[in-house]
Chains A and B, each alone.
Chain A
């Protein structure tokens, strides 16, 4: 049973305990603040990893990134350059194929007997 006397007796203990509040150890607050920073950094990393990708970044991903894109660009430019300013060997061959210079077209470049003619021969 608690009596006023007992209450006073206990209050004296409690008062002592209040006066001698444990002091926060050195470094504990610093560790707590460092945890807060680390947690912020962790959330930022998760946000970056899970952010929806733009159309451009999806294209980049499909192509294979910047190195692959550089190679693709170089190949495209080379193709355009050859188209605009073809080397002599390429232009002669194409001219022969298209029959633009009146020369005899190589036997290797056309079929002397058409499918229709073969069908007629076979009856």
Chain B
């Protein structure tokens, strides 16, 4: 199952193969949840969105048109749209519920510092316009290319570049105030 393409797995699931659904879940659940978490900053809401995004995938499986979109791109798009809908409904974000850190070996102080930096970044990201935030997260945290982001956001790669550039300028302005206290003073030196 692990060497099959997403489209093949989706077709297999549409024919009733539950192992294919498990393989797709293992492959995509992490990035869907992480993306929702970064856009929303709220664990419970990110879980709901991630589950709903996968449910939409299960529902569209029999009608999936091969070659039109990549499953991963489609999932990013669906996830981002649902997150933006939620953000527009509530413009306040709960920062108390931060994501668990993947690296359990970090010391308590390091974890605290990392948590503070993570909070600061999330705080700054949440102050960006929705589209800028989405483009910055996809480009600089999820590591997607501009053409991929263009497909997800339905814009040209040049427009993605423009969005991310503006987003980064805004983030720099927002984060530079906290630069010293967050221990980034000598970053890049």
Binding site for B on A (CB under 8 A): 1-2, 4-14, 16-25, 28-29, 31-33, 35-37, 39-40, 43-44
Contact between A8 and B188, CB atoms less than 8 A apart: yes
Given the known interface contacts A19-B102, A22-B33, A43-B62, the answer about A13 and B121 at a Cβ–Cβ threshold of 8 Å is yes
Chain B contacts for A44, CB-based, 8 A: 16
A22 with B58: in contact, given A6-B172, A37-B18 (CB under 8 Å)? no
Nearest A residue to B61 by beta-carbon distance? A39
Instruction: Decide if B145 is an interface residue (CB 8 Å cutoff).
Output: no
> Are A16 and B140 in touch, CB under 8 angstroms?
no
Q: Is the CB of A20 within 8 A of B99?
A: yes
- Whether B175 and A13, one on each chain, are in contact in the complex, defined by CB atoms closer than 8 angstroms, is yes
Instruction: Please list the residues of chain B having a beta carbon within 8 angstroms of any beta carbon in chain A.
Output: 13, 16, 18, 21-22, 25-26, 29-30, 33-34, 37-38, 43, 46-47, 50-51, 54-55, 58-59, 61-62, 99-103, 114, 117-118, 120-121, 140-141, 143, 165, 168-169, 171-172, 175-176, 179, 184, 187-188
Q: How far is the CB of B71 from the nearest CB of chain A, in Å?
A: 14
**Cβ–Cβ < 8 Å partners of B29 in chain A:** 24, 28-29, 32
**Residue pair A33, B25 in contact (C-beta under 8 Å):** yes
The reply to whether B16 and A9 form a contact with Cβ atoms under 8 Å apart is no
Given that A13-B121, A22-B99 are contacting pairs, would A40 and B172 also be in contact in the complex, using a CB cutoff of 8 Å? Answer: no
For B188, give its contact among A9, A20, A37 (CB under 8 Å): A9
Q: Is the CB of B187 within 8 A of A37?
A: no
Main secondary structure on chain B at its contact with chain A? helix
The residue of chain B having its C-beta at the shortest distance from the C-beta of A18 within the complex is: B141
A6 nearest in chain B by CB position: B172
Distance A28 CA – B188 CA, assembled complex (angstroms): 38
Q: Assess whether B179 is in contact with A9, with CB atoms less than 8 Å apart.
A: yes
Q: Which one of A2, A8, A19, A43 lies within 8 Å of B187 (CB-CB)?
A: A8
Give me 15 other A-B pairs in contact (C-beta within 8 A), A22-B46, A28-B50 excluded: A2-B169, A10-B140, A10-B171, A11-B140, A13-B120, A14-B140, A16-B117, A17-B121, A19-B103, A24-B30, A25-B33, A25-B43, A28-B33, A32-B25, A36-B21
> Quick one: which of A1, A16, A32, A43 contacts B121, CB cutoff 8 A?
A16
CB <8 Å contact, A16 and B118: yes
User: Are B179 and A31 interface neighbours, CB within 8 A?
Assistant: no
Q: What are the residues of chain B within 8 A of A22 when measuring CB–CB?
A: 33-34, 37-38, 43, 46, 99-100
| Complex partner residue of B168 from A10, A33, A36, A37, CB under 8 angstroms | A10
Offer 18 A-B interface pairs, CB within 8 angstroms, sorted by A. A6-B172, A6-B176, A7-B168, A8-B187, A9-B176, A11-B187, A12-B188, A17-B38, A20-B101, A20-B102, A20-B103, A22-B100, A23-B100, A25-B47, A28-B33, A29-B26, A36-B13, A40-B58
